[in-house]
Structure 1
Amino acid sequence: MRIEDLDRPRVRPGATEHMLADLRWLGLDWDEGPDCGGPYAPYTQSERIPIYQHYLQKLQEAELAYPCYCSRAEIAHAASAPQQGAEDGPRYPGTCRHLTTKQRRERAASRRPSYRVRVDDERIITFTDLVAGPQQQHVQQAVGDFIVCRSDGIFSYQFAVVIDDALMQINQVVRGADLLSSTARQIFLYETLGFPIPTFAHVPLIVDEQGKRLSKRIRSEGLDPLREAGATPREIIGQLAASCGLVEAGTTSSPNELAQTYASPSYDIMRSKLNRFIHHRTT
């Protein structure tokens, strides 16, 4: 269990404790985490800042990262920065990539820089996602040199999770399909930092009645209304498992019971059902 709380201004007091309590109530547990320790502590990203600073310094010393003094508005209005969509924003045109020492000193006098990683102009990242299949991205053409540390000193999600997953020896990443497009950037960082690359599986998101993904940003309902309505953890886990095609609708279960099923002879049958379900959802 890792708490990803780098964007401190957006962290609500008590949110982490509430989340951990909800997971425990559902019957989930973990061998390592912020509340029980482990060999790769700390497990809270805001306590790992010196680690990220160390790796940023390594990139700078190797001239693989550089300070950028551009604002978002300046990048958006750059003639050579066509829009890439709401998720990734405009492609960075490389404005600060070749600044001289004098130019950097002049700009630093009036603006605090962010830091961008220098992306090879011709590097094409290819990988096979365990759900979405073969993927390919020309990172420089898609997003350009991307930010690893913001001008306010907050390290980017891309940078922090690569370092954390590598140092915590994570060998498989399973997450929502909304993060598939950022995977090529993370693989680029794994390679640049000399870390082994895990396998990736991006699964379909849970959506509401309007087809919008559940999110705190739009105040989607969480567990509290279900719990207040009398739903039990076994019922909720059963509904979640059924939504993935793991069990029949109406089945109640616990996380431990599902885990034991994976270790049983019926696992191959369950895996086949899950693969068919995911294929149906993604096509």
Structure 2
Amino acid sequence: MKEMQELRAGRDKDKELLVGLKTEIGLLRKEKEQSAEETHVWMNEALRPGNKRGCISMTPPEVDNRTRCRVRIMESPSGALRDELKKLKDMEHCTLREVEVLKQRRTAEERRRMEAEAEKLVAEAEVAKLREQIEKLTTEAAAAPTGGTNLKSRLEAATEVGGSAQKTVRRGKPRSTLGRVGSDDGSAVDANDKFSFLQIERKRLRAWKNSGLEALCKQKGITYRTVEMTADEIAEMRVDARFGKKDKETAMKATRLGDEGGGGIPSCSGGTEASTEVEDIPSDSA
């Protein structure tokens, strides 16, 4: 800082010196012009007709070129100015280098920011795509167990099985098979309908495996345990909803007997009797 102040002070002195030189040069020019005008007036007066000196042509004295011009000795400021100009050029060069470095850094930061934004957009697009796929899979898994058309067709098929069994009981002799409930016409038809419906529901629910049963348990508010236990529980709930709860014991006993392949169920008289399965038997006319 001290050197800069000294340089500035020297530069101010040089400027003052230059201003003084310019002023002195201006004064010398004015003196020269005045001298030229006076010489011109004197020549005109000398050459004027009727002058007492006659018509002698008089010229001003010539200047001897061999004489040395008057030189004013002064301190030359070239050394200080040269050093100051060199320092100023160095400072300008350093400033330009700093500007270039800052521009390069800014360009690199802008490029990195744009690349980060592009990567962020790509990641957001991938996340959105994955979310859509997850929502689609969740919707399909939740909608799969609630298919009403298939259940309706199966229930209609079970009803048709019950109707054909009723017609068979009326037309021919029923075939006795262990594991099914058989008594009078009305109770046999109801038991067969419940048993068929329960078996169909158990088979269909067990085919859904874990994913379908878990979604169905969430809808029904049931705790999921295993595939078989959960399928049996949901099948019993659907049997109760369709046929009522008063004959639930008979339907479950018939199911257990049908799974074991033998046994009997208690009769009204306190003993056991073989259960009968009512099946379609072609009539003699057929």
TM-score range, shorter chain: under 0.3
More strand by share: 1
More helix by share: 2
| TM-score, normalised with respect to structure 2 | 0.21
State the structure with bigger RCO (CA 8 A, min sep 6), 1 or 2.
2
| TM-score, normalised with respect to structure 1 | 0.21
